[in-house]
Structure 1
Amino acid sequence: MAGLIGHEDAENAFLDAWGSGRLHHAWLLAGPQGMGKAAFAARAARFLMTHGRGGNGRPESLDDPGDTAAGRLVEAGNHPEIVRLERAPKDKSKDLARNITIDQVRGMIRRLHLSLSLGDWRVIIVDAVDDLETDGANALLKTLEEPPAQTLFLLVSHSPGRLLPTIRSRCRTLRFQPIEHDVMTAWLHEIRSMLDMADLRAIVSASGGVPGKALALVDSDVAAMEKKLATIAATGDPGNRLREALAREVGGTANRARLELAIDIVPGLLTRIARDRPIAEIAPVLAQWDRVQRTARDAVRGSYDGAMVGFEIGNCLAELAPRSRQGAR
């Protein structure tokens, strides 16, 4: 049950509200990407389709089967009262549009004027609300201010601080926090028991407590990435061979997870380097970490170039090589 880790508090809060008959009309599911917020939204929607209005106590879990006929409709993706707003594919390509458009929001609002055709609830899942166009966000806000009866909004947000304050104020917030290191380690070991312990520890460290990210890294050769970065820092990478290989490995949209892995490995690597250096030599190590952070931040703000970011990370690490080895470059 990989998707369940870290959901316990959010699940209990939602079930308590439903069981009391006082289910708020809009819920903001807030936390880092990869925490399972969309999976939680899908489970909550299924629960409402299969359990009705509420107000008479609560089951132990959102996974309680309830009405099995309604459950089969949900699982087949055919339940008429679950509406999803997400970025649509561009034309016939696999790439997604940059935003959820105002036209998509208007289409959802038109659905709200129709009577319920099945069950007691209509559920609107917006994944992610961060992706709404400005006009779309304003249109959604108006709907949240005057919500139709028996309609529930589940708004997934990776960056809730960037939302309109008025949208946040209309919602009850469920926070999905990064998972503690020991809990993540035990969970990942349970579901991926074939992992070497060294790789498992590296994945957990690089994941930052985000389960989805940990699962994405399972198929990455974490140990090889760590070795490459450590070798650049130790040798200065004469001739740029390792830096060029790193740039190829993390360049392009398809390799973004590997770029994030490289960025996430750097803090632990620099910590180990600093630990082995005299106090007087720690400042340059910290300076290179600041440089890595600036590079990653500037790349996200501007035109994304993973290969450039990867090569610059290599440059930062190469600066930490002993001077005698840097001179050989």
Structure 2
Amino acid sequence: MAAMIGHHDAETAFLEAWTAGRMHHGWLLAGPQGMGKAAFAARAARFLVTHGRGGEGARIALDDPGDTAADRLVAAGNHPEILPLTRQAKDKSKELARNITIDQVRDLKARLHFSLSLGEWRVIIVDAIDDLEPSASNALLKTLEEPPARTLFLLISHSPGRLLPTIRSRCRTLRFQPVDRDAMTAWLHDLRPMLDMAEVRAIVAASGGVPGKALALIDSDVAATEKKLLAIAASGDPGNRLREALAREVGGTANRARLELVIDIVPGLLARLARERPVAEMAPVLEQWDRVQRTVRDAVRGSYDGAMVGFEIGNCLAELAPRATEAAR
């Protein structure tokens, strides 16, 4: 398994605080969904409960081994001082509740009154703090303002700008930025060496530099989907056959993941088509790129009819066929 990617700056900042003995009690892990913030939080929590208080000045890595007995508890998922706060399943169903509730935060706060039973740190992982209902956010804020000793909060946020400013102000922020294309390509090739490099590049382009999205795209047959989209752009689909097939593939709730894949792929595909054309012929591609973006924005604001969105994306691609672009001139 290839190493994690996109965590280097966050790891450095976190470990520098630990080795200097200046560990802030609240850390906001901010960045796009799929950047590995939850994985980082799990690694940071494991590190803290298996090592000492810090301030030792020694060079160390986040995945270095610590106390063996504590490490076994972490691996088993039952270390008493790692407390997760996440959305819970509704009743006996597998569907998750919409929010993290005030009752969950109250239960957590009650546990914080107990003394540490093992090790030097207690770690609370909130995944994601964006999911807290308003009353729960206010309750958690009170704990952040007056944190118990040797208690550290790791708050995962996909949309930090939407959080209470008072929560952000109580935390030190670690930003997880999209990874650049060359690094993503090398990482993905190392992770899945059996993939054709053309497919790797297509996945990287569609992922937007988000490793989690790239991993999800591996299982989505990106090459086959891209081939269908390029066929529309090449032929213009005069009988609408290809566009209708695309609409069927992405329509309905059951095909939402396929629609999202198409939405992810198309911008990179249009960018590639633009690069392949002379400068004087790039305008139609840019025009359709804007049209695709408007279509997606309108879909998100409206009822999100997948078949309609898929057909309209097909229309945008059909406009790029040689006959269509020549007629436009």
TM over 0.5, shorter chain: yes
Stretches of structure 1 that go unaligned for 5 or more consecutive residues are none
CA contact (8 A) 1:126 1:156 kept: yes
SS at match of 1:195: coil
CA contact (8 A) 1:84 1:124 kept: yes
CA contact (8 A) 2:236 2:324 kept: no
TM-score, normalized by length of structure 2? 0.90
5 Å-filtered alignment, 1:189-268, equals 189-252=189-252, 255-268=255-268
1: distance between equivalents of 2:269 and 2:134?
41
1:20 aligned partner: 20
Give the Å deviation of 1:35.
Answer: 1.1
Q: CA RMSD in A?
A: 2.4
Change in 2 beyond 3 A, CA 1:98/1:240: farther
The residue type paired with residue 132 of structure 1 is L
SS at match of 1:4: coil
CA contact (8 A) 1:217 1:257 kept: no
The residue type paired with residue 199 of structure 2 is D
Change in 2 beyond 3 A, CA 1:326/1:140: farther
1: distance between equivalents of 2:105 and 2:292?
39
The residue type paired with residue 224 of structure 2 is A
Give the Å deviation of 1:211.
Answer: 1.1
1:153 aligned partner: 153
1:180 aligned partner: 180
2:68 aligned partner: 68
The residue type paired with residue 168 of structure 2 is R
Change in 2 beyond 3 A, CA 1:291/1:126: same
Give the Å deviation of 1:32.
Answer: 1.3
Give the Å deviation of 1:189.
Answer: 1.1
Give the Å deviation of 1:42.
Answer: 0.2
SS at match of 1:184: helix
Change in 2 beyond 3 A, CA 1:276/1:9: closer
Give the Å deviation of 1:282.
Answer: 4.2
1: distance between equivalents of 2:214 and 2:200?
9
Q: Deviations over 1:67-98 (max 9, x none)?
A: 11011111111111111111222333332222
2: distance between equivalents of 1:293 and 1:89?
35
The residue type paired with residue 202 of structure 2 is A
Change in 2 beyond 3 A, CA 1:205/1:110: same
Give the Å deviation of 1:277.
Answer: 5.6
Give the Å deviation of 1:196.
Answer: 0.9
Stretches of structure 2 that go unaligned for 5 or more consecutive residues are none
5 Å-filtered alignment, 1:26-105, equals 26-105=26-105
Change in 2 beyond 3 A, CA 1:119/1:198: same
SS at match of 1:238: coil
CA contact (8 A) 1:247 1:307 kept: yes
**Identical amino acids, percent of aligned pairs:** 81
Aligned residues: 327
2: distance between equivalents of 1:28 and 1:212?
19
The residue type paired with residue 289 of structure 2 is W
1: distance between equivalents of 2:289 and 2:325?
20
2: distance between equivalents of 1:325 and 1:153?
56
The residue type paired with residue 126 of structure 2 is V
Counterpart check, 1:144 vs 2:121:
no
SS at match of 1:287: helix
The residue type paired with residue 289 of structure 1 is W
Counterpart check, 1:289 vs 2:273:
no
2: distance between equivalents of 1:278 and 1:250?
32
2: distance between equivalents of 1:299 and 1:3?
37
2: distance between equivalents of 1:168 and 1:191?
35
2: distance between equivalents of 1:313 and 1:92?
40
2:115 aligned partner: 115
Give the Å deviation of 1:216.
Answer: 1.0
